[in-house]
Amino acid sequence: MSRPYNFSAGPAMLPEAVLQRAQAEMLDWQGTGMCVAEMSHRGKEFMSIAEQAERDLRDLLGVPDGYRVLFLQGGASSQFAMVPMNLAAGAGKADYLNTGSWSKKAIAEAHRYCAVHVAASTQPEGFKRAPTQAELQLSDDAAYLHYTPNETIEGVEFPYVPESRAPLVADMSSTLLSRPVDVSRYGLIYAGAQKNIGPAGLTIVIVREDLLGACHEFTPTMFQYGVHADNGSMYNTPPTYAWYLAGLVFQWLKDLGGLEGMAEINRRKAQRLYAAIDASAFYANPVEPASRSWMNVPFTLADPSLDADFLAGAREAGLLTLKGHRSVGGMRASIYNAMPEAGVDALIAFMAEFERTRG
Ligand SMILES: *Cc1c(COP(=O)(O)O)cnc(C)c1O
């Protein structure tokens, strides 16, 4: 069976080798006679899976001592509340950068729990670039600075890591594991898994230990980082199967040569696709070149009345889920880690043929 290339923004493609391994282990994980989904989260079998996954993730990212790695549920959207509930209780105030749809949602949620200072916003220009460091108007008394390194919907990515006195908090839902990260520059990193890490239902949080434990009194137990850290992410039943699949993805990345190798592949995929778009008068990408995302590539057709034909033709060619987000329109190709280079080449070939015959 030949599988199509799925350009979905999330849940997204998983590496085929990971799916095959999960299939091989589905009915009998390593001689136990059990599927991982049937195991007690506190049994020695699942504990070994969980510990291996955390070790591999720490290895891949070079997570320094003094940081905890949490395997949670609730998606990145729950982090929009957990971050201010846990980190802003003292200062009562946080800085946010408004650079696209996801940072807007994070800001709206934070307003419920603390004072929010928007230290930069590119909304008036339609979210087409990341602000520069010089443009950031940071407060002296913020508990943290929150930003979204990759805006999944607009396809806008920060080409640098912001400097701030306050701990840096990053929503890396659509970029974590796509390249190396210097974790020591962050107070907290979070990511929903379904873009670049594994299946939906798992949320990764990497948090510096000194930021644990100072949450608002009203914070629900399940929303306290300290509770999850104290209990090895097993205060309640964790998303065991998603945790296991993410672990298989971590092993796949290590076999591939780690995040530097992955970054090289991702850079090549993005460069090739943007080059094809820029070389054509029929396709366009609205984002300033320095802020273009490696992961999510939105593009428009010169004649939007051809959008439906483009999508239908693409589907027939085995290129799925290219429709842009409803708030932006046009097309969007999400090319996360699991999208093979051959998938990007097939998309570029289809785009050229569509332009030649219909453009
Ligand atoms: C997808 C996404 C979210 C929302 O994730 P959920 O897991 O659905 O809550 C938040 N932020 C970014 C950057 C995303 O890409």
Per-residue pLDDT of 24-39, as tens digits, reads 999 999 999 999 999 9
pLDDT in tens, 46-64: 999 999 999 999 999 999 9
What are the structural domains, with CATH classification, of the chain? 17-255 (3.40.640.10), 258-358 (3.90.1150.10)
- Mean pLDDT along residues 240-252: 98
Nearest CA among 141, 148, 159 for reference residue 123: 148
- With a cut of 80, say whether residue 167 has pLDDT above it: yes
Amino acid at 117: H
Amino acid at 301: L
Q: What is the mean pLDDT of the chain?
A: 97
- With a cut of 70, say whether residue 259 has pLDDT above it: yes
Which residues 6+ apart lie within 8 Å of 122 measured at CB? 98, 99, 100, 128, 129, 130, 131, 156
DSSP 292: B
Instruction: Supply the pLDDT for residue 281.
Output: 96
Instruction: Supply the pLDDT for residue 152.
Output: 98
- With a cut of 90, say whether residue 265 has pLDDT above it: yes
- For 72, counting Cβ atoms within 10 Å of its Cβ (0-12 exposed, 13-18 middle, 19+ buried), the class is buried
- With a cut of 90, say whether residue 137 has pLDDT above it: yes
In the reported structure, the alpha carbon of residue 306 is separated from the centroid of ligand 1 by a whole-number distance in angstroms of 29
The residue whose CB lies within 8 Å of the most ligand 1 atoms, and thus the one to mutate among 8, 72, 77, is: 77
Which residues 6+ apart lie within 8 Å of 143 measured at CB? 87, 88, 89, 90, 91, 92, 93, 94, 114, 166, 167
- With a cut of 80, say whether residue 1 has pLDDT above it: no
Find the helix or strand (DSSP H, E) in which 145 lies: strand 145-147
- Mean pLDDT along residues 266-291: 98
Instruction: Supply the pLDDT for residue 58.
Output: 98
pTM for this structure?
Answer: 0.98
For the CA atoms of 294, 104, 71, 269, the dihedral, rounded to the nearest 10 degrees, stands at: -10
Pick left, alpha or beta for residue 16 (phi over 0 → left; psi -120 to 50 → alpha; otherwise beta): alpha
Only one residue has tokens 């995302």, namely 293
- With a cut of 90, say whether residue 117 has pLDDT above it: yes
- Mean pLDDT along residues 343-357: 98
Given pLDDT bands bounded at 50, 70 and 90, which one contains residue 232?
Answer: very high
Helices assigned H by DSSP within the chain: 16-24, 44-61, 75-87, 101-110, 225-230, 240-255, 258-278, 307-316, 341-358
Amino acid at 306: L
- Mean pLDDT along residues 72-82: 98
Given pLDDT bands bounded at 50, 70 and 90, which one contains residue 250?
Answer: very high
Q: How far apart are CA 240 and CA 235, in angstroms?
A: 13
In the reported structure, the alpha carbon of residue 231 is separated from the centroid of ligand 1 by a whole-number distance in angstroms of 25
Burial code (b: 16+ CB inside 10 Å, e: under 16) for 266-282 equals beebbebbbebbeebeb
Active site residues: 102, 171, 195
Which one has a higher pLDDT value, 1 or 274? 274
C-alpha distances out from residue 3 to 38, 105, 179, 318, Å? 28, 34, 26, 8
Given pLDDT bands bounded at 50, 70 and 90, which one contains residue 178?
Answer: very high
Pocket of ligand 1 (CB under 6 A): 10, 75-77, 102, 148, 152, 171, 173-174, 192, 195
C-alpha distances out from residue 252 to 180, 186, 258, 287, 306, Å? 16, 26, 9, 32, 39
Instruction: Supply the pLDDT for residue 359.
Output: 84
- Mean pLDDT along residues 79-85: 98
* Residue 35 CB neighbours (<10 A): 15
Q: How far apart are CA 301 and CA 140, in angstroms?
A: 45
In the reported structure, the alpha carbon of residue 154 is separated from the centroid of ligand 1 by a whole-number distance in angstroms of 13
Sort strands 331-334 and 296-301 into parallel, antiparallel or unpaired.
Answer: antiparallel
Q: Residue ranges for the binding site for L-glutamate?
A: 42
